[in-house]
Amino acid sequence: MRGTALVAGGGIGGLSAAIGLRKAGWEVRVLERAPEFTAVGAGISLWPNALRALTELGLGPRLDPLLTPQTSGGLLDQDGRWLTRWDAAVFERALGRPLVGIHRAHLLELLLDALPDDCLEPGTTVGSAAELDADLVVGADGIHSRLRAELHPGHPQPVYTGTTAFRGVTARTDDVKLGVTMGPGVELGVVPLAGGDVYWYAAVSAPEGSTVDDPKAYLLDRFTGWRSKVPDLVARTETVLHHDIHWLAEPLPCYVGGNVALLGDAAHAMPPFLGQGGCQSIEDAVVLAAAAARHDSVAAVLAHYDRERRPRSQRIARNSARMGRFGQQLEHPLAVRARNTLVRLLPVSLSVRGSIRMSDWTPPRIGAQSPTSPAS
């Protein structure tokens, strides 16, 4: 069908949905509460599933120059000893697409550039779906979604994961490889980006709302001496971002209601331990757009979308939380030692198998199809 859509929220999920729905022939406007659409943030990893979805959105040729495929990397302990080393090219061999790092701002710029200015309405806060006049409303208004609260008034709010995260991007000075250093209650990560930059993060177990007046000084004080590149990168970083991380621990019973589809963090905000939150929001967008092209009624579009997206995205959210408990959030020294031994003994092929399975997802085609054509 063809119709009108209003997208509440202009983040990765909302912009991807707008691009997909336009490709499906819909008239789309994106309502964003921020006074302007700004491309901000640190880095983000994109798995092959998201790259395939972005390609289906038509962004492939412009995307590729912004990506830095990860060719090798590994997991280290706090003393800099390898627990496991990956041949990250394994993803490209298995799935035809690599695991990549990208500057979040570059990704947002790419999405914004694919949309005409007159469909972007910054400075517009959506209070309720009832005030929006459109065939379809997309609730892409993030983890604290108003549209989710409207659809599921009694549903538990997102909860603190127990982890606070520091992130930054700076220039590379040497040949940095993808690497993650695990300490008790700590994960320090380094991801090379295009253009000679590097994205680093520090995920740390801490009480909710812990105030850190000077994140840079805090990180340097806490991690100097660690056998990781992160302290050096922190010292050279201009702006350090710091956020407590929350997630929707209680999964939603349904992603749709009335003429509204919840998408991205509004539907399934997950802990970042698998690096899949943004990837899942792009998958959501492509599935919604393909369903919008394919079905003859909004009810059928929404039913298809919920059926396709809820099981997979909720499974990945659960696995991401589990990964955090076994990984960064493990604090007891004996548990950390046992985990490290296990990781060291596990064959690499086995340790990447789960990630390959998770990112082996093929997007449906966005295009006019008859409702009786094979399921995407």
Ligand X SMILES: Cc1cc2nc3c(=O)[nH]c(=O)nc-3n(C[C@H](O)[C@H](O)[C@H](O)COP(=O)(O)OP(=O)(O)OC[C@H]3O[C@@H](n4cnc5c(N)ncnc54)[C@H](O)[C@@H]3O)c2cc1C
Specify burial of residue 158 (Cβ count, 10 A radius: 0-12, 13-18, 19+). middle
Q: Which stretch binds ligand X (CB under 6 A): 141-149, 251-259, 304-312, 338-346?
A: 141-149
Out of 5, 6, 14, 91, the only residue in the binding site for ligand X (CB under 6 A) is 14
When asked if residue 10 is in the footprint of ligand X (CB under 6 A), the reply is yes
When asked if residue 139 is in the footprint of ligand X (CB under 6 A), the reply is no
In angstroms, give the least distance from the CB of 141 to ligand X: 4
- Burial 269-278, CB ≥16 within 10 A → b, else e: bbbbbbbbbb
Q: The dihedral of CA 223, 226, 229, 232: what is its sign?
A: positive
When asked if residue 6 is in the footprint of ligand X (CB under 6 A), the reply is no
Distance CA 227, CA 344 (A): 18
When asked if residue 140 is in the footprint of ligand X (CB under 6 A), the reply is yes
Q: Residues 239-268: x/- map of binding to ligand X (CB under 6 A)?
A: ----x-x------------------xxx--
Out of 44, 54, 132, 292, the only residue in the binding site for ligand X (CB under 6 A) is 44
Quote the longest CA-to-CA distance of the chain.
62
Q: How many residues bind ligand X (CB under 6 A)?
A: 33
Q: Residues 164-193: x/- map of binding to ligand X (CB under 6 A)?
A: -x-x--------------------------
Nearest CA to 316 out of 364, 355, 260 is that of 355
When asked if residue 272 is in the footprint of ligand X (CB under 6 A), the reply is yes
3-state SS, 160-210, equals EEEEEEEEEEEECCCCCCEEEEEECCEEEEEEECHHHEEEEEEEEECCCCC
When asked if residue 163 is in the footprint of ligand X (CB under 6 A), the reply is no
Query: Residue 322, Cβ neighbours under 10 Å: how many?
Result: 13
Out of 1, 95, 126, 169, the only residue in the binding site for ligand X (CB under 6 A) is 126
When asked if residue 11 is in the footprint of ligand X (CB under 6 A), the reply is yes
Q: The dihedral of CA 34, 35, 38, 43: what is its sign?
A: negative
When asked if residue 114 is in the footprint of ligand X (CB under 6 A), the reply is no
**3-state secondary structure at position 289:** helix
The residue ranges that bind ligand X (CB under 6 A) are 8-14, 31-34, 44-45, 125-126, 140-142, 146, 165, 167, 243, 245, 264-266, 272, 275-279, 281
